[in-house]
Amino acid sequence: MRRTHVVAGGSALVVALAACGGTGGGRDTGVVPVPGDPAGVTGSITVLTNRTDQVQDGTLKGYAAEFNKTYPKVRVEFQGLTDYEGDVRIRMNSKDYGDVLAIPNAVPTSQYPTFFAPLGTAADLSRTYEFTQATTVADKVYGIPNIVTANGFVYNKAVWRQAGVTDWPKTPAAFVEALKAIRARTAATPYYTNYKDAWPLTNWGNALGSPSCDAAANDRLTTTRQPWAAGQDLHVADTLLHDIVRDKLSEADPNTTNWENSKNLIATGKIGTMWLGSWAVVQMREAAKKAGRDPEDIGFMPFPAQAGGAFCTVLRPDYQYGINVNSRNKPAARAWIDWYVNRSGDAEKALSISGVKGRPLPSIFQPFESAGVRFVRISYAKYTQVLDIDKASEIGLNKPEYRQRIVDVARGAAPGDLNGVFKDLNGRWSEAQGTVGG
């Protein structure tokens, strides 16, 4: 199982739904409130989910049983989709895309009113939930996150200790040197790209805001003419990826990587490090348990850069849950979202930051708090504009292709050099800004 999450600057993919002109059923102007009387809520709802593992192991069925203790007249069914983004995008060309679903990244924010029912006003829901700004259109909120994701390096602490590295690197150069120590002193592959599965490479875009410790880093893409110029966050992050591969600190053949197997590899110390969201930690620890290893050996560290003497870790919402505008059981759907996010405990079980404001941080962040790591909540004030520029540039900040190109250039499998790649990206972004009025 993998988790795909909303990424600041994510590309609005060219999909059929974007041109369907309202196949979703038209705009719903009525807010769907949380039902006041659970006994009066009836009907059957279908929940679309990317959590195929929770469908298969019965976790979601267990949640539904607990939900029914409060809402006994609602029947909840789940459909787990392995290719969640692709399958849901296709289904959204009809009216049949479940009652509750994680909003696909491909849907432009401006089209939320066409496909989803509003859950409440921004003023109201922003007091309770994180990142409502990301799904707000005309002061109405169309999606609520169950979890908030921090981004950093999942790493095997035993491997790093064996290499003699016990402190988190404070600069990209120090991080590369740490990986070199792993290569020299252990049998582990220092870093794993997950190149073949591709989607993990998109997480490098989530470093945006960490080197600069800037909550407005995503918004600034609308006016920054050259986001890959020296010193810019994207330059820092993409250069680090390039240098790791160039210095042969990653797997020998990126075309043979395997996401599911990577969990076992890092759990058993065969690889040392992967750049992922904090949601991945619990999966790697579960793999360690199955392999008879200490799950506490799986740690999480911030991006190797500091601002004002402190590490900064960017927080972003994971999938936001919305209601199909065509649903015939909107009150039941709204009841499920409210119960799942507020009462299921799913975020806590996943060692994730809750989408509900004021909940305590999970235990994996105790080292972050002890080290004084600053948590930066990335702004989505200009999210739609960033999407428009990205689409016009055809770069795809939320797609794996351009970072696969960086990996290929770094390992000599593609022509050119990193400076050439950055020059091309800067040129296309700058030109696209003029096209969309950025």
Longest Cα–Cα distance in the chain: 66
Encoding tokens for residue 57? 């192991």
Asked whether this chain's domains 16-146+318-360 and 147-317+362-438 adopt the same fold, the reply is yes
Instruction: Collect all residues with Cβ–Cβ distance below 8 Å to 101 and sequence separation of at least 6.
Output: 47, 48, 49, 88, 321, 322, 324
Residues 182, 165 contacting (CB under 8 angstroms): yes
* Annotation: CATH topology of 16-146+318-360: D-Maltodextrin-Binding Protein; domain 2 (3.40.190)
3-state SS assignment for residue 152 = strand
Q: What is the pTM of this model?
A: 0.86
pLDDT attached to residue 412? 97
- In the chain, domain spans: 16-146+318-360, 147-317+362-438
H helices, E strands: number in the chain: 16, 17
3-state SS assignment for residue 431 = helix
pLDDT attached to residue 105? 81
pLDDT attached to residue 14? 34
Local confidence pLDDT in tens for the 438 residues of the chain? 444 444 433 333 333 444 443 444 555 568 999 999 999 999 999 999 988 889 999 999 999 999 999 999 999 999 999 888 889 989 999 999 999 999 998 788 889 999 999 999 999 999 999 999 999 999 999 999 999 999 999 999 999 999 999 999 999 999 999 999 999 999 999 999 999 999 899 999 999 999 999 999 999 999 999 999 999 999 999 999 999 999 999 999 999 999 999 999 999 999 999 999 999 999 999 999 999 999 999 999 999 999 999 999 999 999 999 999 999 999 999 999 999 999 999 999 888 999 999 999 999 999 999 999 999 999 988 988 998 999 999 999 988 999 999 999 999 999 999 999 999 999 999 999 998 864
CATH of 147-317+362-438, one of 3.30.429.10, 3.40.190.10, 3.90.660.10, 1.10.800.10: 3.40.190.10
DSSP β-ladder status, 147-156 and 310-317 = antiparallel
| Ordered alpha helix ranges (H), 329-414 | 330-343, 346-349, 366-370, 383-393, 401-410
